[in-house]
Each structure stands twice: as structure tokens, then as C-alpha cells.
Structure 1
Amino acid sequence: MTTIDYYMTLNSPWTYLGSALFAEIAARHGATVRIKPTKYGEVFPKTGGLPLPKRSPERRAYRMMELKRWRDYRKVPITLEPKHFPSDETIGTRLVIAAALQGKDACRLAQELGRSLWELEGNLGDEAVVAEAAKRAGLDAAAIRRAGPSDEELDRIHNQNTAEALERGVFGAPSYVLPTGEFFWGQDRLEFLDRALAKG
């Protein structure tokens, strides 16, 4: 069984745009997904990237064109400029990591958290918004957090994911990394991931 390490962030529209297709591809190939929320605010400066506000007007304009293209192509009705972007994703990220540790469907949870931000224009810094996303994913946010671990341990894992991503050459979200070290950056590379999994 193939394992895919999934380096992502809830604030990325590209992560959300590819989330449903990625889940379908992984399931079809019987792959195990290890979701690894990552701090791209730390990854970017170490790998030559720039946060959105610091990019040139030309790059920001092209990003909007690409979001419109992929929104239509993937048939995912994202809002191009949601009210709460970027959100403080701390609550949601901690919940995703805790859910993964407990063997729950953390990828589905992350997808619903992405929907909250990118379709429903919710604030991921709002516990009620996060709880409702968990409910849509068939999970109980409060129960997951009660089962632990602590915020400090969850944050440690978040930092560990970030360091690991940098060690493996990851520089953007989402990135899907195979055991061989081959990785695919961006939801627009999912078809290549599909082909690689088919080859075994």
C-alpha cells in the first residue's frame, strides 16, 4: 500500500480546489494519506517564495485568472476573495492534526474547513465555524479536542511538519510526496500523481 504525505494549509485555495479529487485518487489506488498541515509562512522565505501581499501586481492578477480557470475546470464554486482570507487557521489546524492522530478522516475534515473559508466565507478563527465544518465531516470537534493531545503538542507537530517539508524540498501548497521522494506541487499536478500511483 502506497503512502502519500500531504503537505497543505487551510488558507490555500489551491489546497481546497484539489482536495476532493485528491481524496478520490487516493481512495481509488488504495493509498494511505498522511496529512501534514504546514506553516508556509516559514516555508516561503526559505525556498524563494513570497506571501501574497508581497507579490507583484502582475503575479497577483495572474493568480486571479488561474483561480477562475481552475474553479470552473474543477467545478468547485470558490469565492475568489473571501471575507476572512487569510484566516487565523490555528484552531482548524490543531483539530486536523488531532483528528489524524486519533485515526479519524482528517482529510475530509480539512476539506470541510476549506469549504468554510473558500465557499461559505466563514472565519476559521471562529470555533463555531470550525465545529460546524467538523459536523459536516461527520466529526465532533469538541470530542476530538477533549481526547487530546494538548495545544502545545499539536503545535509541536505543526512545527515538525514544517521542518520535515523543508527537508524534503517542499516549497508550496499543496504538495503530495511519495515514499520514493518524488513529489507533486499543486492541485494542477494531481493527474500526474494519479498516473504515478497507477504505475505503482
Structure 2
Amino acid sequence: MSHIDYYFSTISPWTYLVGDRLAAIAVKHGASVTYKPLDVMALFDRTGGTRPADRHPNRMALRAQELARWSAHLDMPLNLKPAFSPTNPAPASYAIIAAQAALAKGATGDLDLLVRSITRAVWAEEKNIAEDAVVREKLTAAGFDSGLADSGLFIGAETYGRNLEEAVEAGVFGAPFFIVTDTDQRFWGQDRLSFLDAHLGSL
């Protein structure tokens, strides 16, 4: 069975645009996925990237056009200037990490749905994912115990920092980023999911 390490940011519009495609690809090829939310701004700082707020206007103009194009192409509503962006990505990231740990211990819930709903909250629902009530709402909607928002704080904070270190060591420099660990094949961006699909199909 192939395995995918999925590095992403809960505040990234490109992560939002992954939608349910990664989960579908994993099911199609019988692959497992480890979800690794991280601080993408710190990742940029560590790997030679530029934070969006510091990018040249030319780059930001094209980014806006590309986001609009992909939003339309995927039929996924996206507000280019959401009410709560940027916001603190950590609380929602901690919840995702805690939910994944809970699944490993036998809990039930849909982790991919949780990730999708959190990113959709930012980019399509005008909600602040730094707020406890929003995080709890998304945990419950994905079938998890909303109490993970509290009980998962320690493991969330610890793993969140470790995900950043692992990302840098693995060659990650942006989000979303997918690594097939069996073959060390790396795919950067939601627009590379078709290549990920093809690669898994060739194994």
C-alpha cells in the first residue's frame, strides 16, 4: 500500500481547492494519507519563499486571477478577500492533529471532511477558524468529539511544530504539498493532483 504525507495550511486557498480530490485518489489506489498541517508562513521563511503580504503586486494580481479561474473550474465558491484572512491557523490545525490521533485510537470521524470544512470556512463561509466555536462546530460536523478542541491542545501544539521541521527535511516549501513516501515523489500544488493520481496508478 502506498502512503502519502500531505502537508497543508488551514489558511491556504490552494489547500481549500484540493477539495475531496485527494481523498478520492487515495481510495482509488488504496493509499493511506497522513495529514500534516503546518505553519506555512514559517515554512516560507525557512525555505526561501515570500509571504503573500510581501510579494510584488504583479505576482499577487496573477494569484488572484488564478484563484478565480480554479474556483470556477472546480465549481468551488471562493471569496478572494475573506473577512477572516489572515487569521491564526493554529487552533484549527491542532484540532485536525487531535482528530487524527483520536482515529488512531479507535475513534470515528471523517478527517478529510474536517480539513475540507475548515478551509471552506475561511474561503467560502466567512468564518474565523481561530475561534473556538467554529473549530468545535467543524469537529462535530465531521463526526468527532468537539472536546478535542481542548483535550488535543498539547498534542496539537507539539505535532504542529514537528510537522514544520519534517516538512523542511522532506523538501517541502509550499502548501499543499504531497509526498508519496514509498517513492519520494513530490507534488506541489492542488493543480498537480492529476500527476499524483497517475504516479500512484503506475506503481
Question: Please, what TM-score do these two structures have when normalized by structure 2?
Answer: 0.92
Task: Give the one of 139, 145, 149 matched to 1:140.
Answer: 145
Paired with 2:4 and 2:19, the residues of 1 have a C-alpha distance of 13
1:191 is matched with which residue? 194
Paired with 1:85 and 1:135, the residues of 2 have a C-alpha distance of 23
Paired with 2:36 and 2:134, the residues of 1 have a C-alpha distance of 21
What residue identity is the alignment partner of 2:64?
M
CA contact (8 A) 2:5 2:180 kept: yes
Paired with 2:57 and 2:174, the residues of 1 have a C-alpha distance of 20
Task: Give the one of 127, 130, 153 matched to 1:125.
Answer: 130
What residue identity is the alignment partner of 1:105?
D
CA contact (8 A) 1:91 1:125 kept: yes
Query: How far apart are 1:135 and its partner, in Å?
Result: 2.6
- Aligned pairs for 1:10-21 within 5 A: 10-21=10-21
CA contact (8 A) 1:97 1:106 kept: no
What residue identity is the alignment partner of 1:55?
R
Paired with 1:125 and 1:40, the residues of 2 have a C-alpha distance of 16
Paired with 1:134 and 1:19, the residues of 2 have a C-alpha distance of 17
Residue deviations 1:48-74, cap 9 Å, x none? 211110000000000000001100111
CA contact (8 A) 1:113 1:134 kept: no
Q: Is 1:23 the counterpart of 2:23 in the alignment?
A: yes
Paired with 2:100 and 2:202, the residues of 1 have a C-alpha distance of 28
What residue identity is the alignment partner of 1:182?
Q
- Aligned pairs for 1:5-154 within 5 A: 5-103=5-103, 104-142=109-147, 144-145=148-149, 148-149=151-152, 151-154=153-156
CA contact (8 A) 2:84 2:122 kept: yes
Tell me how many residue pairs correspond in the alignment: 197
CA contact (8 A) 1:112 1:134 kept: no
CA contact (8 A) 2:135 2:149 kept: no
What residue identity is the alignment partner of 1:94?
Y
Query: How far apart are 1:145 and its partner, in Å?
Result: 4.2
Task: Give the one of 165, 170, 173 matched to 1:171.
Answer: 173
Distance 1:68 1:145, change over 3 A: closer
SS of residue in 1 equivalent to 2:82 = coil
Residue deviations 1:67-99, cap 9 Å, x none? 011001111111111000012122111100000
Query: Runs of 5+ in structure 1 lacking a partner?
Result: none
Question: Please, what TM-score do these two structures have when normalized by structure 1?
Answer: 0.94
Query: Runs of 5+ in structure 2 lacking a partner?
Result: 104-108
SS of residue in 1 equivalent to 2:18 = helix
What residue identity is the alignment partner of 2:78?
I
Query: How far apart are 1:11 and its partner, in Å?
Result: 0.4
CA RMSD after TM alignment: 1.3
Query: How far apart are 1:24 and its partner, in Å?
Result: 1.2
SS of residue in 2 equivalent to 1:122 = coil
Query: How far apart are 1:102 and its partner, in Å?
Result: 1.1
